[in-house]
Chain A
Amino acid sequence: QSVLTQPPSASGTPGQRVTISCSGSSSNIGSNYVYWYQQLPGTAPKLLIYRNNQRPSGVPDRFSGSKSGTSASLAISGLRSEDEADYYCAAWDDSLSAHVVFGGGTKLTVL
């Protein structure tokens, strides 16, 4: 059972905007930044969003992150077939020294 809660699946058609939620608690999302990782099929995860809403170099601005209280969201606009992947949220947890906790992952299907 993952510490952060994500929906197991999400879907959309090309061009649509989809959002993926991530729910935590006061000790993780409520008091720390949220990070998002994209895992394309058969590959290692890749940092997609850091510090709630910052994109590493090379990540398209179609991807955006937000946080409010103990929840966070990843939004993907202008959905493309290559966005089909698993998405994981993560955050440091103050109740677990130096531990980063993950969500259970959301499988995004582009219909």
Chain B
Amino acid sequence: QVTLRESGPALVKPTQTLTLTCTFSGFSLSTSGMCVSWIRQPPGKALEWLARIDWDDDKYYSTSLKTRLTISKDTSKNQVVLTMTNMDPVDTATYYCARTQNPVPFDYWGQGTLVTVSS
């Protein structure tokens, strides 16, 4: 079955760079039409899509955050990595990775990882 799991630091300091890893199983990111996205949710707030990487290595970023985000994949390890630079307290959120099987977005989600930005 399809599973995704996020991992990374629970606490980062302002101005630091956040690195999150999504480790997945049950599908291959080299299969045509498969994509993995990162989505975040500040406490008590709505979902916000951040970035996506496709089976063919195409990458897409949120317009408002694209200068701070980098997404990459390691197909052999079944992992997708997101880096976000210059972290700020407003970036405190639960970060999810989710699969897209084109054209259906986010058919499977990880359980999420809470990242707090504080000095």
Contacts and interface: CB of A to CB of B under 8 A. Distances in A.
A47 B106 contact: yes
Nearest to A99: B49
A92 interface: yes
Given A44-B96, A44-B112, A104-B46, A96 B106 contact: no
A102 B109 contact: no
A24 interface: no
Interface residues of B, number: 22
B83 to A, nearest CB: 19
Contacts of A102: 46-49
A90 B96 contact: no
Nearest to B97: A44
Contact of B60 (A2, A44, A98, A104): A98
Interface in A39-90: 43-47, 50-51, 56, 88, 90
B62 interface: yes
Interface residues of A, number: 25
Contacts of B104: 35, 47, 50-51
B105 interface: yes
Interface string B98-119: 1000011111111110000000
Contacts of A46: 109
B8 to A, nearest CB: 16
Contact of A47 (B52, B63, B107): B107
A2 B46 contact: yes
B107 A56 contact: yes
30 contacts: A33-B103, A35-B104, A44-B96, A44-B109, A45-B98, A45-B106, A47-B104, A47-B106, A47-B107, A50-B107, A56-B107, A88-B46, A88-B47, A90-B47, A90-B105, A92-B103, A92-B105, A96-B63, A97-B60, A98-B52, A98-B58, A99-B49, A99-B63, A100-B37, A100-B49, A100-B105, A100-B106, A102-B47, A103-B46, A105-B46
